[in-house]
Amino acid sequence: GIQVEQSPPDLILQEGANSTLRCNFSDSVNNLQWFHQNPWGQLINLFYIPSGTKQNGRLSATTVATERYSLLYISSSQTTDSGVYFCAVVAQGGSEKLVFGKGTKLTVNP
């Protein structure tokens, strides 16, 4: 099945810093989503982005489908950005399930 690799696995930032999270996937996809899991366990949908670029406030994401990667940018990070960021994909021609990467654990210190 499709493989999803996220990097880095852990990231520690000072408040106000910028960061880039990467997601590589091994096959063509119909769907790619970025999620933020907050410290209470909730999975918050950040972007639905199978291709192209989207922005939402301090967050933006770019997916280059032909090269099988996606990037999530966080600017001017805040302590509330802490948590785990997951990339998840649906493979083309496969079942419709989302396959998750192992996540990037982000800690933003005040």
Residue 31 interacts with other proteins (CB under 8 A): yes or no: yes
Nearer to other proteins, 101 or 108 (CB): 101
Coil, strand, or helix at residue 27? coil
Least distance (Å) between residue 65 CB and other proteins: 14
Nearer to other proteins, 18 or 80 (CB): 80
Residue 33 interacts with other proteins (CB under 8 A): yes or no: yes
In the block, tokens 């994401």 appear at 61
Q: Which of residues 36-65 bind other proteins (CB under 8 A)?
A: 41-45, 48
Q: Which of 15, 109, 24, 93 is nearest to 63 (CA)?
A: 24
**CB within 8 A of 98, min separation 6: which ones?**
31, 33, 88, 89, 90
In the block, tokens 């396959």 appear at 99
State the residues that interact with other proteins by CB under 8 A: 30-31, 33, 35, 41-45, 48, 86, 88, 90, 95-100, 102-103
